[in-house]
Homo-oligomer: A and B are copies of this chain.
Amino acid sequence: MDGLMMEYPLTLPRILERASRVFARKEVISLVGDTTHRYTYGNLYGRVLRLMDVLRDLGVGKGDRVATFAWNHFRHLELYHAVPALGAVLHTLNIRLPPEQLAYIVNHAEDSLLFVDESLAKPLAAVAGQFRTVRNYIVMSDQPGATTGLPQPLDYEALMAGAQEKERFPDLKETDACGLCYTSGTTGNPKGVLYSHRSMYLHSLMCALTDTMGLSERDVVLPIVPMFHVNAWGQAYAVPLVGASLVFNGPFLQPQHIVRMIAQERVTLALGVPTIWNGLLQYLRQAGGDISSLRRMVVGGSSVPRAMIVAFQKEFGVPIIQGWGMTEMSPVGSTMHLTRRMEDWPEAKQFDALAKAGIMLPGVEMKLASENDDALPWDGETKGELLVRGAAIASSYFRNEQAREAFTADGWFRTGDLASIDADSVLTIHDRTKDLIKSGGEWISSVDMENTIMACPGVLEAAVVARPDVKWDERPVAFVVRKEGAALSAQAILEAISAKFIAWQLPSLEDIQFVEQIPKTSVGKFDKKALRARLVAPA
């Protein structure tokens, strides 16, 4: 017997309509050079209607892929809402991808239009000759007219000026595709994740929950996480859904610009990867700045060093909520908050907990799997591969049958992460399975060692990878970046970490290498492929 409740498909235009209707006067603020561009959700609605008109005129229909190559700003937000509202698919391209991957992705997705920031047009133009399906390039600019090198570029604002605000929304199923992101795989070609309206709507609700990000109408949200990176962790939809204000920094990601926007707009929530906040921390210590409006920061994308959590809490009174997720999970899978039980713990133990990946969101289920996919216990000790399933998790990759092995027959997605879950249901990600160091038949976690080294005074960053070894198969090598002016020896580091690792796990003195910087991937993570290549080549 069916319930007798309204059919109410969970589609993204409902979020836009809610923002424009219920929170019509709340603002979207974009940093544009020395000034800010400001408008309201009411204005956004009108602009999205116009943009839908533009897209229709350019021949975009249901299911078509529309790509973006852009920073965080109001025009990108307009695309986030207009493209799905037409039943088309928003494909956000990572602007930091190497050219050959970019070409592969655009051609694999068969993108029909490509919206590009004027400031990014030149690097894009260098690859555009390889794009086989892009009909039109639309350039987003505040002062149009610059040479872009793109074939017959159209101007975003000129098209908008010629368009009309027609309230014409096609009928959508909640299972219709709305967005597409490719994961930058460490092996093989990038794989596409095709989100649905339903999954993105539910993900917005899940992100907004008190124990996830606690989004409220009273918030002013600054997503430093890029809109070209897995849906800016859901902020383009979750924030308008609750009616909070949105602040975008555009391409201005240097600490002084971030601090300026936090202070000026009284930002209450900022989100981004650890690298960004590490930079901000050093800047604040040296130059100072007012971040007192922040009620919390959400940090994810890679493991958050405990020392950073302690520093922001103790020096600036800002709690860090660590988040964990994957492109295949929309992306947020877990967030860390102190539970009621932990409120009575001593401070040091609380910080230990806050350095973990957190508790799975409602709508996300987890399983620790043995090599035979048997369920392992949640005891904080046992490590296994993490499998996930849920309301906003991929069931397969876009046009990629070879990648089926990432999904089990009984409906779980294999994350490829080695993890444990403790008795408080808190997840710890020990490593990407492929980043583990296998030494003498035993495992060493590169992430644990990195975090331990990064907790040493004088260390700015550290990455640990495996070096091939005749006797032990693999041995750990630590690449360490010293803080400016810090005098720090390999011996000092070894002594500092020897309390947390067994003797055989420790790197040799020669395997602690000081470097100027750690190479990063297109999404800001340590590029371990590049580091491993350094070790193999000269040997």
Contact = CB atoms under 8 A, between A and B. Distances in A.
Interface of A: 1-8, 10, 14, 17-18, 21-25, 62-63, 89, 173, 175-178, 193-199, 202, 205-206, 208-211, 214-218, 220, 241-243, 245, 337-341, 343, 359-360, 362-363, 365, 389-398, 411, 413, 423, 425
Contact of A4 (B193, B243, B423): B193
A8 B363 contact: yes
B218 A391 contact: no
Contacts of A389: 6, 8
A220 B341 CA distance: 12
Contact of A218 (B2, B23, B343): B343
Contacts of A397: 4
B4 A398 contact: yes
A217 B339 contact: yes
A220 B343 CA distance: 14
Contact of A199 (B5, B363, B393): B5
Given A208-B209, A217-B211, A3 B177 contact: yes
B22 A196 contact: no
A210 B215 contact: yes
Given A18-B362, A339-B218, A395 B208 contact: no
B241 A194 contact: no
Contacts of A363: 8
B343 A194 contact: no
Contacts of A359: 22, 217
Given A210-B214, A210-B215, A362-B241, A392 B339 contact: no
A203 to B, nearest CB: 10
Contacts of A395: 4-7
B195 A3 contact: yes
B176 A6 contact: no
Given A208-B362, A243-B339, 7 more contacts: A2-B196, A22-B360, A22-B425, A210-B216, A211-B217, A217-B359, A242-B362
A147 B392 CA distance: 52
B210 A4 contact: no
A217 B337 contact: yes
A57 B62 CA distance: 51
A178 B3 contact: yes
22 contacts: A1-B177, A1-B194, A2-B175, A3-B196, A4-B196, A4-B397, A5-B199, A5-B391, A5-B394, A6-B390, A6-B411, A8-B393, A14-B365, A22-B425, A25-B423, A202-B205, A211-B217, A211-B242, A214-B214, A217-B337, A218-B337, A218-B338
Given A6-B411, A208-B209, A362-B242, A1 B62 contact: yes
Contacts of A10: 391
B340 A217 contact: yes
A439 to B, nearest CB: 34
A218 to B, nearest CB: 5
Given A1-B62, A18-B362, A210-B214, A6 B343 contact: no
A176 B241 contact: no
Given A6-B391, A389-B8, A391-B10, A1 B89 contact: yes
Nearest to A62: B1
A242 B193 CA distance: 28
Contacts of A242: 209-211, 362
A474 to B, nearest CB: 35
A3 B199 contact: yes
A341 B220 CA distance: 12
B194 A21 contact: no
A290 to B, nearest CB: 19
